[in-house]
Amino acid sequence: MIEIHSIISLLCTGIYLATLGYLIKGWSNLKIPEPSGLPLITKVTILIAARNEEEKIHLTINDILAQDYPSGLFELIIADDHSTDNTAEIIKSYASKGVKLLQLKDEKALNSYKKRAITEAIKLSTGDFLVATDADCRMGAKWLSSIVDYYQANNLVMVSSPVTYFEEKNLFERMQTIEFSYLIGIGAAFIGNKRASTCNGANFAYRKDVFYEVGGFKGIDDLASGDDELLLQKVAEKYPARIGFLKKREAIVYTHAKPTLHDFLQQRRRWASKSTKYKDKKVVVFGACIWLFNLSLLVNALLGFFNPYFFKLLLIQFILKHLFETLYLIPIMSFLGRVRLVFLLILLSPVHIIYFVYVGIMGNTRKYHWKGRNVR
């Protein structure tokens, strides 16, 4: 029995290490693009769905209005998703600067408010290229121009761009930055390997005609989450070779880690809830393999209290896990300008094992709380 268990544990470990090798290769395949030198001629609509963001939304709006993109070629539409604070009033105060407010007034309860907000905003848009971000994000002045230049120069239909945390206040938030960078790297690496599968909606762009061509969010509108990855997978079915990841620092969008463990777990459960809806079932298998590997670590840790042999097996797994994850994260964190945080990986890894198993179960079995609502 011990021998069979050891074989299964080492098999899970081997699959996980091979997966990390695949991700390392995918990230290295992505090259930092040089400016094309082509004139920026694309009409762009920036989309934001906002709910109760009165604290920071003015910072996001100011950053967008400060873009070096030709002012006559982009518009900002913010859909207020039934905010109960002063979010709408703050947005209205920018009307003289061309910021458009769309206020949703749904009488019946929905499960996918954000997708509805984005869909309604797209109906009002005049741009041919849609760039989505969140109401609590920050970006540099070249954010939009770098995305559009990359889009124009490579004849793309969809562009995923990097997102990272900043202004961390404590160890918990810094550890979130490492974990979040791990996830962002996965999406980038898959695109680098010519298999677009995951992305982040805080920095996500696509052609409007392609959005309608694939039916928008139809078929994926029963989940609160998935306005980014599930849409990307719909587009990837039709245009697998025309989706790019912009590996450029000017394109990075910055946001904040969650301040409490409760908020963090609710967010990750929301993200995990869409995994079973992925069109690309190989990505589902990919996620399942990572989950099973972490489960094997947890099982060996528990069995070790009954037989020290399992502690030895756990140690081998953990050392290999830490080594390969370090090799994977160093180039990603270096690109993000946060390479020093990799040293915290030794602290994050044990906690991450328990967290990953927990979120994998809870994200697909229970409702979760998001933006003052209970959704699934």
How far is residue 107's CA from residue 62's CA, in Å, rounded to a whole number? 32
Residue 77, φ and ψ in degrees, nearest 5? -115, 125
For the chain, what is the mean pLDDT?
91
Mean pLDDT, rounded, for 284-309: 91
**pLDDT at residue 68 is higher than 80:** yes
Q: Which residues contact 157 (CB under 8 A, 6 or more apart)?
A: 206, 207, 210, 235, 239, 242, 243
Return the CATH architecture of domain 32-171+191-260. Answer: Alpha-Beta Complex (3.90)
Digit-coded pLDDT (tens) for 119-177: 999 999 999 999 999 999 999 999 999 999 999 999 999 999 999 999 999 999 999 99
* CA distances (Å), origin 214, targets 108, 233, 235, 237, 239: 26, 10, 7, 9, 10
User: Can you give the three-state secondary structure of 188-207, one letter per residue?
Assistant: HHHHHCCCCCCCCCCCEEEE
Which two structure tokens, joined as six digits, stand for 251? 């394109």
How far is residue 114's CA from residue 163's CA, in Å, rounded to a whole number? 19
Where do the structural domains in the chain lie, given as residue ranges?
32-171+191-260
How far is residue 148's CA from residue 126's CA, in Å, rounded to a whole number? 16
Which two structure tokens, joined as six digits, stand for 346? 């030794």
How far is residue 197's CA from residue 282's CA, in Å, rounded to a whole number? 9
CA dihedral 195, 340, 150, 56 (to 10 degrees): 100
Q: Positive or negative CA dihedral for 306, 310, 312, 314?
A: negative
| Sheet of strand 253-255, all strands in order from the earlier edge strand to the far edge | 138-139, 253-255, 163-165
Q: How far is CA 304 from the centre of its chain?
A: 36
Give the pLDDT score at 219.
83
Which two structure tokens, joined as six digits, stand for 356? 């990953």
**pLDDT at residue 369 is higher than 80:** no
pTM of this prediction? 0.91
Q: How far is CA 192 from the centre of its chain?
A: 16
Digit-coded pLDDT (tens) for 84-117: 999 999 999 999 999 999 998 865 655 578 889 9
User: Can you give the three-state secondary structure of 23-87, one letter per residue?
Assistant: HHHHHHHCCCCCCCCCCCCCCEEEEEEECCCCCCHHHHHHHHHCCCCCHHHEEEEEEECCCCCCH
Mean pLDDT, rounded, for 344-349: 93
**pLDDT at residue 374 is higher than 70:** no
Mean pLDDT, rounded, for 50-65: 96
